[in-house]
Amino acid sequence: MNHPYPQQWAPAFPVPAPTTNGAAIASLVLALLCLPLVGLITGLVALSKIRRSGERGRGLAIAGITIDSLRSGLLVVGLIAGGLTGAQHGRGAHSDPLPGAARLTVGECFTLQDGTLQKVEPGETTYSRSASRTTTVPCTVEHDAEVAGTWHFDADSDSRYPGDDQISTVAENKCDPLVDGYAMDTWALPDSVSAYYFLPSRSSWAVGNRQIVCFLASDAAKLTRPLRADATVLSPDQVAYLKAVTKLNATDAKAPDTEAVKDLVTCRDFAARMAEALHDESAQLTARTWPAKAKQPVADMLAEIKISAGAWEDAATASDATQFRTHVHRAEDHMAHPEAVQVRAALGLSTGQGSAQDV
């Protein structure tokens, strides 16, 4: 009878349980602490060790890798998006380089950052081209100036900068009528207010700023009220009257800076232009039907205009300086200033020429 050999048993030594890999634990902790890429790298190292050692912690390492990968991915996307946004903003700064002055529109009131209006040269009516730091404000609060008009040069990108002198000449020619049309009632303007303009510089011209900004500003106190006086704020009768006297005011403002005894020809030419302006004013005043309360004042004004125009005509043909002065004195005595005040009062316009009205 065969007897099998007794079964052999392995010695009963205790076998220790696998330990948890420290790098796996660190991977999860670092990922939760939001340290970009550190948890990811630590987790990869932990998986490599676990495969060789049989340690536990594979799940922890994978969790650390997953969390850190998601966080790092979101961070990269954010950085890319931020970079694109910054690039777009940078392009915007170059594609829209127009300074503050170039963005001003008619009727806006504004201040300058430094609080002053610097002229290019004393006595000039052109304010500094560095007027880029403008801030628009309501015209009822303190401000430096009010935009009366704007004018653009040809926007052709190939056109060359015309030069400072040419731009200044164009600005003067364009701004004068714009300002006159914006502030038609010159009697309502404070004595301290004059017309000025901003110009494009050579550098701003190159990037598209080719706008002239014509504005009214005070060289004394700050402005605190709007100066606009055109068809948008005046009645039709007021506008009609102001249009009638515009030519005479403009002509009178360009009186020659000389005396008849020195330049009789120039003075006689001025007298002829004054007579023409008065005839034009008379024609416009006669053509309109005025409100009842303004009819008699207008009639009185027309009577004086007729006398003054005749005297200016006589001055325009004077044979010498003495005769010229005699006719001019008579013309000036009948320039209808008192009658103009009465017409203005009847129409509701300012009656204080060059008045000390609050600015």
SS3 352: coil
Give the whole-angstrom CA distance, residue 270 versus residue 287.
26
Q: Which of 75, 64, 12, 13 is nearest to 38 (CA)?
A: 64
Q: Is residue 151 exposed (0-12), middle (13-18) or buried (19+ Cβ within 10 Å)?
A: middle
Tens digit of each residue's pLDDT (9 = 90 or more) over 272-289: 999 999 999 999 999 999
> Cα 48 vs. chain centroid, distance in angstroms?
66
Report pLDDT for 164: 83
Which three-class secondary structure string do you get for 15-32? CCCCCECHHHHHHHHHHH
Residue 158 in this model has a pLDDT that exceeds 70: no
Domain boundaries, the chain: 22-86, 100-218, 236-347
Which range, 52-66, 98-112, 191-205, 240-254, has the best average confidence (pLDDT)?
Answer: 240-254
Q: What is the mean pLDDT of the chain?
A: 77
Report pLDDT for 144: 86
Report pLDDT for 267: 96
Q: Do the bridges between strand 109-112 and strand 145-152 make them parallel or antiparallel, or are there none, so unpaired?
A: antiparallel
Report pLDDT for 142: 92
Count of residues in the chain? 359
**More confident position, 350 or 125:** 350
> Stretch 88-116: mean pLDDT, rounded?
58
Tens digit of each residue's pLDDT (9 = 90 or more) over 308-357: 999 999 999 999 999 999 999 999 999 999 999 999 999 999 998 654 34
Report pLDDT for 358: 38
Report pLDDT for 140: 95
Tens digit of each residue's pLDDT (9 = 90 or more) over 193-237: 888 888 887 887 887 788 888 999 887 788 999 999 999 999 999
